[in-house]
Amino acid sequence: MFINRSVALKVCLALAAWGPSLPAGDRAATITTFDVPGAAGTFGNSINQAGTIAGYWVDTANVYHGFLSASGGAITTFDAPGAATTSGLGTLAVSINTSGAVAGYYADASNVYHGFVLSAAGAFTTIDVPGTGTAPGKNTFPQSIGDTGAVTGRYQDTSATTHGFFLSAGGTFTMFDAPGAGAAESQGTYAESTNTAGTVAGYYADPFFVYHGFQLSSGGTVTEFDAPGAGTGPDQGTFASSMNAAGTIAGNYTNGGTHGFLRASDGTVTSFDVTAAGPLGTLPTAINTAGAITGYYGLKSTAYRGFVRSAKGTSATFHVSGAGTKNYLGTFPCGINQSGAIAGYYTDAGGTAHGFVRTP
């Protein structure tokens, strides 16, 4: 499968056990866990305002399939037309918008990846960026679908350099690169999120494998940025993960440790850490229209735990009951909707993934 080099993992590619930093008023939150029937692993990725969760599941033959879980718990599974049915390949749903349209990608029998949009009515549209490579593991990887139906993501060219793309609701492609992006394999531009204004946020790797954030305006202007204190060594830097309708960007930066950041629409960057976070750090994954951020944080030699940070800066932490407690297992929130409902997955003591939704 395609691996995201970002430290903010896109793996995002009984009730909570509350930590000491949880505000008393947040104890009423409820966590519901779920599994796709017959799945060997269930990964919730994104949740819309109706409470519908999009994600993917893995069957016992290690083939990937998409799913939708409605707010009432009904689960629908799907495969993109042309998706491979061999081990390690298949269909991955990564983003759902307000109308219920889903974006994701799938691997064909030659292990070439193609993007897709699944409409709320159930119709598939395949997305292949012009000029993409056709080698195994390469091609088109949507990461976000906005409420207008526009899609952003990344693709690899024939030289395996990564570039960003934006596909308008009308079907027009715009391919782009951050000005400072490197051109070698595994370098380039990684588009992560788009909003209703058609703005795109993401990160890029420069020729020295140092990472920097960027924002692409609807008019085509790229603004590059670094979180204060971000490292300047290989595989360090700034990773923008998610953007809301106001243009506020959430992500993480690394400098030997990992920390969260919030970049306001005026360019002001605020760093933050979950109080209980240890050496594995704080990794935001999603921000909603109200400015609430979710993600996960890690303690040394123990499991990852989830957090939600309000627009006022107050954090609550949570851990799904049944989640593993050691060695990179734990709770992984991936999406948050306007009402503050959070979707994600957790890994149990044996490493098996299960979906969850946390409602405030």
| Structure confidence at residue 24 (pLDDT) | 32
Q: CA–CA separation, 263 vs 271, rounded Å?
A: 9
| Structure confidence at residue 27 (pLDDT) | 55
DSSP string, 294-353: EEEEE-TTS-EEEEEE-TTS-EEEE--TT---STT-EEEEEEE-TT--EEEEEE-TTS-E
| Structure confidence at residue 13 (pLDDT) | 61
| Structure confidence at residue 301 (pLDDT) | 66
Domain limits, the chain: 24-359
| Rounded alpha-carbon distances, angstroms, from residue 37 to 34, 41, 57, 71, 74 | 9, 10, 10, 17, 11
pLDDT tens digits in sequence order for the chain, 360 residues long = 333 333 333 457 622 222 223 333 345 799 999 999 999 999 999 999 999 999 999 999 999 999 999 999 999 999 999 999 999 999 999 999 999 999 999 999 999 999 999 999 999 999 999 989 888 888 999 999 999 999 999 999 888 899 999 999 999 999 999 999 999 988 999 999 999 999 999 999 999 999 999 999 999 999 999 999 999 999 999 999 999 999 999 999 999 899 999 999 999 999 999 987 877 799 999 999 999 999 999 866 678 999 999 999 999 999 999 999 887 899 999 999 999 999 999 999 999 999 999 999
| Structure confidence at residue 9 (pLDDT) | 39
| Structure confidence at residue 302 (pLDDT) | 75
| Structure confidence at residue 131 (pLDDT) | 85
3-state secondary structure of 283: strand
CATH numeric code, 24-359: 2.130.10.10
